[in-house]
């Protein structure tokens, strides 16, 4: 079958010139797949297969373009060149022909090659037909067993591409599910991260749970946990509709080294064991960062409190102190846990959170974003008291009294604590 070459594949769109590639050289993987699908990629990530000297080629290109160079796998000869707006991986061809190399890959849609010199698409596994049918078909069961991360990649790519998993492939994945434990935890975490971040991720996480691919990491994950994920999606959509700023925050995480968004944190909280201590162990084993683990356990601990009615200002103050920036994930979790998916469309339950959300979104709010009227040092000097935990307690009382409108100046704060000590 003749497959038209998408213009987006052309070397003019690459971050380096074709003349630096030996002949032959092939582009493979996600970039070819996505170009054929007409899918635009926010970040250019190219994969090349080169019959020999792949690492040398990569090194030469990195040098010529003053780009970053990373030797990814010395044994299999894979190197990465990092450009300002793109990454290109150069891998030595596996086996003695391109066809052999393509036969060692995970899914047929990822085993299509493009020869930039001849402008040919090479598709020995009929990946194009599967692209047209929008399905992930394994190249072979052995390939899945050889690198069991591929079991999870199936769900992740189905979610990202809006594809289905071809039935025989899915049956094979179920059979091989227990092999997922052979994979480095970090690689698993990355796949779970993609699934959590994908707008279509929830039904595919549910499939992966059902097929036994995720349950080795989250032993408590059940079909009910997956219903909670759906409720989180719905809660996030509702909150976002009413408070657009929350929508922006849900997609963000303070530290950019950490990829999990607040929405992802809320979803993780549905998958982990409900006991925060057990959850912590599960997340540690998956190599989540301390910040991510703390975010999940904090949201788990705090969300029931958001469902209390008539919280005093003092209670609200402590809630915000403990939650900090995890408030966004906590409120999503509270809304999703409190209300069944079917009735969540009514605004009744939503309005229960409105006062807290307004406080959180107002940087001048004295309950959610308390700033000190006086410092601990000032208290120690003015009141002539020793440094001790009492100072912290007094500062808290000042902050609460200020939020309650009882005091508003440093002088009033000092007078207020004099009566306390």
Ligand X SMILES: Nc1ccn([C@@H]2O[C@H](COP(=O)(O)OP(=O)(O)OP(=O)(O)O)[C@@H](O)[C@H]2O)c(=O)n1
Interface ranges with ligand X (CB under 6 A): 28-30, 45, 47, 105-106, 110-111, 147, 149-150, 153
Give the one entry of ligand X, Mg ion, none that residue 105 binds, where binding means its C-beta sits below a cut-off of 5 to 8 angstroms depending on kind.
Answer: ligand X
Residue whose CB is less far from ligand X, 61 or 136: 136
- Is residue 45 a contact point for Mg ion (CB under 5 A)? yes
What is the nearest approach in angstroms of ligand X to the Cβ of residue 172? Answer: 15
Contacts 24+ apart (CB under 8 A), 16-21: 16/61, 16/64, 16/65, 16/67, 16/81, 16/83, 16/88, 18/116, 18/117, 20/57, 20/60, 20/61, 20/64, 21/48, 21/50, 21/57, 21/116
What is the nearest approach in angstroms of ligand X to the Cβ of residue 62? Answer: 18
DSSP secondary structure string for all residues of 321-379: HHHGGGHHHHHHHHHHHHS-GGGTTSSHHHHHHHHHHHHHH-TT-TTTS---SS-HHHH
What is the nearest approach in angstroms of ligand X to the Cβ of residue 102? Answer: 8
Residue whose CB is less far from ligand X, 34 or 282: 34
Question: What are the phi and psi torsion angles at 81 (to 5°)?
Answer: -115, 125
Gap between the Cα atoms of 106 and 141, Å rounded: 9
Task: List the one residue from 6, 24, 30, 141 that touches Mg ion (CB under 5 A).
Answer: 30
What is the nearest approach in angstroms of Mg ion to the Cβ of residue 34? Answer: 9
Gap between the Cα atoms of 314 and 319, Å rounded: 9
Give the one entry of Mg ion, ligand X, none that residue 234 binds, where binding means its C-beta sits below a cut-off of 5 to 8 angstroms depending on kind.
Answer: none
Q: Which residue is nearest to ligand X (CB)?
A: 30
Residue showing tokens 């958001």: 306
Give the one entry of ligand X, Mg ion, none that residue 378 binds, where binding means its C-beta sits below a cut-off of 5 to 8 angstroms depending on kind.
Answer: none
Q: Which residue is nearest to Mg ion (CB)?
A: 30
Both structure tokens of 112: 């299509």
- Is residue 372 a contact point for Mg ion (CB under 5 A)? no
Give the one entry of Mg ion, ligand X, none that residue 147 binds, where binding means its C-beta sits below a cut-off of 5 to 8 angstroms depending on kind.
Answer: ligand X
Where does this chain bind Mg ion (CB under 5 A)? 29-30, 45
């Amino acid at each position: 079958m003749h497959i038209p070459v998408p213009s987006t594949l052309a070397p003019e769109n690459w971050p380096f010139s074709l003349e630096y590639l030996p002949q032959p050289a092939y582009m493979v993987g996600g970039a070819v797949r996505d170009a054929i699908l007409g899918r635009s990629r926010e970040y250019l990530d190219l994969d090349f297969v080169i019959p020999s000297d792949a690492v040398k080629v990569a090194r030469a290109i990195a040098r010529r373009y003053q780009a970053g160079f990373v030797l990814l796998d010395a044994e299999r000869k894979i190197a990465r060149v990092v450009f300002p707006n793109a990454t290109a991986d150069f891998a030595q061809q596996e086996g003695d022909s391109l066809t052999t190399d393509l036969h060692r890959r995970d899914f047929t849609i990822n085993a299509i090659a493009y020869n930039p010199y001849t402008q040919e698409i090479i598709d020995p596994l009929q990946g194009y037909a599967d692209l047209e049918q929008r399905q992930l078909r394994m190249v072979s069961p052995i390939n899945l067993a050889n690198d069991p991360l591929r079991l999870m990649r199936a769900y992740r790519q189905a979610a990202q591409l809006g594809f289905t998993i071809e039935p025989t492939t899915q049956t094979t994945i179920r059979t091989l599910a227990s092999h997922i434990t052979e994979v480095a935890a970090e690689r698993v975490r990355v796949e779970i991260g993609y699934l959590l971040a994908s707008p279509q991720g929830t039904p595919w996480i549910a499939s992966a749970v059902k097929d036994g691919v995720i349950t080795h990491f989250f032993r408590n994950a059940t079909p009910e946990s997956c219903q909670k994920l759906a409720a989180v999606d719905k809660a996030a959509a509702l909150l976002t509709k009413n408070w657009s700023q929350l929508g922006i925050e849900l997609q963000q995480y303070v530290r950019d080294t950490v990829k999990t968004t607040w929405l992802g944190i809320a979803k993780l909280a549905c998958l982990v064991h409900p006991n925060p201590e057990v959850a912590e162990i599960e997340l540690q084993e998956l190599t989540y960062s301390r910040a991510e683990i703390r975010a999940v356990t904090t949201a788990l601990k705090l969300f029931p409190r958001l469902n209390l009615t008539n919280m005093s200002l003092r209670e609200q103050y402590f809630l915000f102190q403990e939650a900090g920036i995890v408030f966004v994930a906590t409120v999503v979790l509270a809304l999703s846990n409190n209300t069944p998916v079917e009735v969540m469309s009514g605004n009744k339950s939503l309005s229960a959170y409105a006062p807290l959300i307004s406080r959180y979104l107002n940087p001048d709010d004295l309950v959610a974003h308390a700033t000190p009227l006086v410092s601990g040092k000032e208290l120690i000097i003015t009141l002539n008291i020793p440094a001790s935990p009492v100072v912290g307690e007094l500062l808290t009382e000042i902050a609460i009294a200020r939020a309650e409108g009882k005091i508003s100046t440093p002088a009033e704060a000092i007078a207020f604590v004099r009566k306390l000590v």
